Structure 1
Amino acid sequence: MDRRRIGFFAAGAVLFAGVVVVLRGGGAPGPADAGITTQPPPPTSLTAFASDGVLAPSPGSVPDPPEGLEAAPGPGSLVVTWTGGAPGYEVRWGLGDVSRTRLVTGSLVELRLADGLEQRVEVRAVDGFGQRSAPASVSGAPGPVGVSEPGAYHLVDRFEGASAPDPARWRLTARPGCARAGAGSDEEAAALVVATTCAGVPAVLRSRAPLVLREDGEELGRFAVGAGAPIANGELALELAPGPVAALSGAEPPPGALRLLVRATEDSVTARVLTAEGDRTRELRPLDGVAPGTGHVWELVLRRDGALVLLDGEPVATSPVVPAWREATALISVSGPIGQRVPVWLAGLGGAPSTAPPLVGPVRVEVTPQGGEAGSGVGAPAGQLRLTVSHTLSRERDAPLVALVSGVPVPLRRAVDGAPVRADTGLPLVGDVPAGVASVSPDGVVGVRLDLGFDATATHAELELGPGGAVPVAANPEPGPPQSALPRPSARVLDASGRPLPPGTPVPRGRVVVEVELVGAPAQHGLAGLAGFGLWLDGTRIASVPTAVGGPAVAGTYRVAVNTGALPGGPLSEGPHMVEARLFGTSGSTRPTSAFASFFAAR
């Protein structure tokens, strides 16, 4: 095969955790690009190749089909499970023609099915070379989407409109550039999709209508959210704060606040009720049937004798906490790894009747060192500036807290009485902005600068405007369609028998083994198809391994034997060397990915 076909061309590279992700450039050169040569895109197929002294792996027998295929209804979804030991699986489904496809690892997949009709599902095992087993099949229909007691909720949003989230009902805040939210499409239809683009930074949906507790009866109020459970290392939180907050952050909620925290690990999900006094949750049953990334309806029921947690209508935990407030801000908080997409398809508030204030805007607040300058935009009505700031203070300070809004000082105060000043907890602040002070730019932006007397960063900021006139409206960043990625690669050099070398041990002359492991972490929308990988030694290609024999592979482990004394360029010299494993997808839109392993050749 021509080496140029599998060449690696890129406009730039990002190095993270030993993995290089290549960003492709494109487009015809313009006048400013005179003399610049454009490069072809990465290949979408590979031909087997091994240089002298190299023995590459080859396909074996076709894998066995998965066993124990089952389909269980979830809220608006079908959860399909099976058993098997293949590195990957191909899932096909549809109303009869099984025309939709997803590549996954693990033995579970959740299919969001907005139409509610019975589907036929086929699952095939896929080995590391793309060979597929015979299919195992099952049929099933999604379950209904709803809460345990619909009459207990006076406000319910199903996020079905193309403009979700409805700005009259919800306000989205996040660290700038760290979250996008909008109406889903295709598999994510009939849901609000919250996509996180910064690791561990919460994106927060605030209900503009407060939760107001009832004054009579045993039940005080309820807060429900139907959403996809977070993927591994992700969190979903239902929060109630007794004050005008934009967001809560940190390990402990402020005094009086409640947080139902749903947290996912690689293989489990937990749900805890947290307060400023700590975790007093009592589990009623384990959450063995809740897999990371699958959708459920969570309800936090507030009673005079404590709080009750419901999962799809069934009690799973209790807490003795009883709120001391009558009205609270309701927040839906999502955080997790980069690329997490959480569909939210239901939210409800139950208690005494409450309504959202009239909508003006919404505007977007940008907090920067230059943001407090006087503006020349439209003067806004009076409003409430809500901030959550991170800082490094460990104790209180007496200096006044001030924000400059369009050049005008606005005093700030704690949004929740008694909110602690702690370096590991965001400080919620609020300030009253007089009419005409906030200057709104044509694209709906208000500039703000903090003047707190100490270093701080606003992680969440919003301006809730009161009635008094129209202002330019800020656009909400859309999440875009889901993106599939290649499996996560790693590479290491082993001795001739395939055993790991002790750290710092030189590689002896002769035969060594390069092991390439491609791990497809469970993904909400599947993995990209793998066309194969190439192996480079000190920048020279020594092998190409195609992995799409019967269709694209998903993941796998491969061993390439290398005789360091019989390479085309002669025996490997004493000293340091580098091996690169470079992955290619079957789609031209898939970004190539590389992993590296360094070693020291002995004399």
Structure 2
Amino acid sequence: MDRRRVAVIAAGLVLFGGVVAVLRTTGPDDPAAKPTTSAPPPTSLAPFAAEGVLVPTPGAPPETPGGLRVLAGPGRVQLLWTGDAPGYEIGWGRDGKIDRHRLVAQTATQVDGLADGTRYEVEVRAVDAFGQRSEPARGQATPKAAAEGEYALLDLFDQADAPDPARWRLAVRPNCARATPGRDDDGRRLVISSNCAAAPAVLRSRTPFVLRDADDLGRFVVETDAPGADGELALDLVPGPVSTVAGDGLPPGAIRLRVASGNGRTTAEVLTAEGAPTTPVRAVPVLEPGLTHRWELALRRDGARVLLDGEVVATSPAVPGWKDATALVSVSGPTGQRVTLSLAAFDAAPAPAPPAVPAPEVRVAVAPAPAPSSGSTIPGVTGGQLRMTLLHTDPSPTAPEFTLAVGDQVVPLRPAVPGAPWRAGVGYPVVADLPAAALVRESDHVRATVVTGLRVQATHVDLELTAAPGASPSPVRAETTPLNGLESVLARAEGKVLDAAGRPVPDGLPIQRGRVVFDLVLDGRSGQRGSGLAGLAGFTVRLDGDRVAAVPTNLGGPGVAGNYRLALDTGDLSPGPHMLEVKLFGTDPTTRPMSAFISFSVD
């Protein structure tokens, strides 16, 4: 490992050799550490260079971005342009006024929560490493409502209780993800926020996907900015009552469109348990984070097609062997990821969703014998269906038979799809049909026991209740608060110490005393992933705890990112290890400073 590389920390937390050290917030111009009751961090810095230190200085303002394209969509506008600046400032507004602004580090962005039929003025300015602005590239666009067409299901996720509980169920591991209606800049779309890395959040449609009796069997359509960085998007059609399907455990007959992002590229393929191949038609272009795209899984009698924004990108000979299926939209990615959905639609045969009935929480235990239960049966229902996924470590090649104890009833727990793979570490979807007498509520929950001696864990538990004739179920309550907010963060710092000639030093070798060069890169694109990008006021540099430089980056407004080279005099340093600390400050007092550390040795 290169010890001259910068280690970055947020909110004052850093790990040194397994020991956690907490850094306090800073006062004006980065004084020594103070207690947490100290003044907030500065929002501007005065230039400073200690004796023997050379700091970078600004040059001419950057050039205006080129080739601006403005694309209107439902409630949104996409802006795409060309340029090589480290950052950009986006402005937009209506009635001829630019009154909203955003900082980005990529040459594309999307503005959401706009009013259809209203003309918006937009502009893009390049921002250099010192916050200097270019002249703007200007445009305008009028968002337009989605063409609803003839769909068996169409959801624009623009209602106050999105996702509509009558249409969708969210299947996740406990406390791992939440689906909530968008607000403000996320307006008129669904936000899926995650707390768990690589744990899929799955939206299950309560409306079945039913094939047409035609050559064009049907299309499953989603408009979303998923997959995010290092994430996945999956559209599944499964012939059975499932709530989720394991990534590597597709049951027989299931058809999946899998879109994966990683290593700077995006791939799209059709997956089946039977191993139908995918033939690429054209390469999937690089998808900029945060931009909404339209993905379609089109099923035909002669095979399946994958479409991106209306263009075929892949084909497969996969043909469904079923008439109707459960439709799932699944997203996964790093911890803290937020993705959005703007549309989900079935271009298929008409089919109704069953009436939605509020269901209590189900607490599932796994034991060789059921525990006694007490309570009263749920009124106004004639029964229910309990779906869940079982995780296990059983090495057997075939699944055993399970039973489920609910209330004082014991019922079979059968595979949701016959022939689903039973493999250790792979989710196994099961379902149980429950009579009304089994639905005993204890306080605010229903207790269920998977009766087995195997080591099994029940996940993604989902109870569907059937209303009695004439019953008037209460509305199903929906979540409204996401698990994580869209916090604006500063650019990510990367850097290294070079010798006096600006050349890398072999790993582990000391640097000759006299002068060293410090290369600092503030990467806005990496800092922007999964969050907003905060304005940069500047940074300070400390050498062994002594402040040696302060570089402001807000000359024409908040900075974004950039490359910086500093020269430091090391003639007075003692032989041995030394430490550089770089601290970034935002132009907003609520922005958390970022600290980065680099160690080096001197002869």
Partner of 2:328: 331
Cα shift readout 1:490-540 (whole Å, capped 9, x = no counterpart): 232222222222111122222122222211125476411112222233444
Quick check: 2:204–2:326 contact (8 Å CA) kept in 1? yes
| 1:533 counterpart = 2:531 | no
- By how many angstroms is 1:374 displaced? 6.3
2:357 to 357, 360, 364: 360
* CA distance in structure 1 between the partners assigned to 2:442 and 2:548 by the alignment: 57
Distance 1:252 1:498, change over 3 A: farther
DSSP 3-state at the match of 1:271: strand
Q: Distance in 2 between matches of 1:524 and 1:169?
A: 27
- Cα distance in 2 for residues equivalent to 1:407 and 1:575: 73
The 5 Å alignment of 1:258-273 reads 258-265=255-262, 267-273=264-270
Query: 2: distance between equivalents of 1:145 and 1:88?
Result: 32
- Counterparts of 1:64-463 in structure 2 under 5 Å? 64-74=63-73, 76-95=75-94, 96-112=96-112, 114-116=114-116, 117-142=118-143, 144-146=145-147, 150-151=149-150, 153-214=151-212, 216-251=213-248, 253-265=250-262, 267-278=264-275, 280-288=277-285, 291-365=288-362, 379-380=377-378, 382-393=383-394, 395-396=396-397, 400-401=401-402, 411-423=412-424, 425-435=426-436, 437=438, 440=441, 445-446=445-446, 453-463=453-463
Map of 2:579 onto structure 1: 578
Separation in structure 1 between the aligned mates of residue 536 and residue 523 of structure 2, nearest angstrom? 12
Structure 1 residues 137-180: Cα deviation after superposition (integer angstroms, max 9, x where no partner): 12233455246xx22x2222222210111111111121222212
Task: Rate the CA distance shift 1:56–1:409 in 2: closer, same or farther, 3 A.
Answer: farther
Kindly provide the CA deviation profile for residues 533-553 of structure 1, in whole angstroms up to 9, marking residues without a partner as x: 222334443332221121111
Distance 1:346 1:504, change over 3 A: same
Alignment-derived partner of residue 32 in structure 1: none
Deviation of residue 268 (structure 1)?
Answer: 4.0
**CA shift for structure 1 position 44:** 2.3
Alpha-carbon displacement from aligned partner over 1:248-290 (angstroms, at most 9, x marks no partner):
1223522211111222346443322111133522334443385
What is the distance in 2 between the residues matched to 1:541 and 1:385?
63
Structure 2: how far apart are the matches of 1:368 and 1:597?
50
Q: CA offset at residue 61 of structure 1? A: 2.2
> 2-side partners of 1:390 and 1:38: how far apart?
47
SS of the residue 2:296 aligns to: strand
Deviation at 1:338, TM superposition (A): 3.1
**Structure 1, 518-527 or 235-244: larger mean CA deviation:** 518-527
Q: TM-score, normalised by structure 2?
A: 0.84
Tell me how far 1:465 sits from its aligned partner: 2.2
Matched, 1:42 2:17: no
Per the TM alignment, residue 414 of structure 1 is displaced from its structure 2 partner at its CA by: 2.2
Counterpart residue type for residue 112 of structure 2 = R
Q: SS at 1:106's partner residue?
A: coil
After superposition, the Cα gap between the structure-2 partners of 1:541 and 1:368, relative to the gap in structure 1 and judged at 3 Å, is farther
**How far apart, in 2, do the equivalents of 1:375 and 1:546 lie?**
67
**Which of 479, 483, 486 in structure 2 is aligned with 1:476?**
479
1:73-125 deviations in whole A, cap 9, x for unaligned? 44543322222111111111122212111111121112235323332221111
Matches of 1:556 and 1:17 in 2, distance apart? 30
CA shift in 2, pair 1:383/1:190, >3 Å: same
- Three-state SS of the structure 2 residue aligned to 1:139 is strand
1:485 aligns with one of 475, 482, 489: 489
Contact conserved, 1:235 with 1:263, CA < 8 A, in 2?
Answer: yes
> What is the match of residue 542 of structure 1?
548
Distance 1:504 1:376, change over 3 A: farther
What's 1:509 paired with?
513
Partner SS, residue 466 of structure 1: strand
Percentage of pairs with the same residue: 51
Q: Look up the SS of the partner of 2:583 in the other structure.
A: strand
CA distance in 2, matches of 1:190, 1:144: 11
Query: Are the aligned partners of 2:406 and 2:439 in contact in 1 as well (CA < 8 Å)?
Result: yes
Equivalent residues of 1:230, 1:293 under 8 A apart: no
State the partner residue of 1:4: none
Change beyond 3 A, Cα 1:308–1:163: same
Contact 2:389 / 2:429 at 8 angstroms: preserved in 1? yes
SS at match of 2:493: strand
Aligned partners of 1:374 and 1:439 also within 8 Å? no
| Counterpart contact for 1:167–1:362, Cα < 8 Å | no
Counterpart of 1:184, as a letter, is: G
Q: Distance in 2 between matches of 1:389 and 1:564?
A: 61
Is the CA contact 2:543–2:581 (under 8 Å) kept in the aligned structure 1? yes
Which is worse superposed, 466-475 or 324-333? 466-475
Shift of 1:487: 1.3
SS at match of 1:420: coil
Letter in 2 for 1:541: R
Q: Does 1:496 align with 2:495?
A: no
Q: Using the TM superposition, give the Cα deviation of residue 390 of structure 1 relative to its aligned residue in structure 2, in angstroms.
A: 4.1
- Distance in structure 2 (CA, Å) of the matches to 1:353 and 1:398: 35
> Offset of 1:410 from its aligned partner?
6.3
RMSD: 3.5
Cross-structure match for 1:31: none
Deviates more, 1:404-413 or 1:197-206: 404-413
Alpha-carbon spacing, 1:309–1:180, altered in 2? closer, same or farther (3 Å) = same
- C-alpha distance in structure 2 between counterparts of 1:473 and 1:540, whole Å: 59
**In structure 2, C-alpha distance between the alignment counterparts of 1:405 and 1:14, rounded to whole Å:** 49
In structure 2, what is the Cα distance between the partners aligned to 1:233 and 1:446? 38
Measured after TM superposition, the shift of residue 298 of structure 1 is: 2.3
Match of 2:557 among 551, 563, 573: 551
Deviation at 1:126, TM superposition (A): 0.7
Instruction: Give the Cα–Cα distance (whole angstroms) in 2 for the partners of residues 124 and 158 of structure 1.
Output: 32
CA offset at residue 437 of structure 1? 4.5
SS in 1 for 2:306: strand
Separation (CA, whole Å) in 2 of partners of 1:577 and 1:358: 68
Cα distance in 1 between the residues matched to 2:110 and 2:21? 28
What SS does the aligned partner of 2:81 have?
Answer: strand
Q: Pick closer, same or farther for the CA change 1:505–1:401 going to 2, 3 Å.
A: farther
1:486 Cα deviation (Å)? 1.4
Question: Which residue in 2 is equivalent to 1:3?
Answer: none
Q: Which residue of 2 aligns with 1:28?
A: none
CA deviations 1:1-27 (Å, max 9, x no partner) are xxxxxxxx9987376999x998999xx
Q: What amino acid is aligned across from residue 103 of structure 2 in structure 1?
A: L
Q: 1:498 corresponds to which letter in structure 2?
A: G
Alpha-carbon shift at residue 130 of structure 1 (Å): 1.0
**Structure 2 partner of 1:13:** 13
Cα distance 1:527–1:205, how it changes in 2: closer, same or farther (>3 A)? same
- TM-score of the two chains, using structure 1 as the length reference: 0.84
- Check 1:49–1:249 CA distance in 2 against 1; reply closer, same or farther (3 A cut): farther
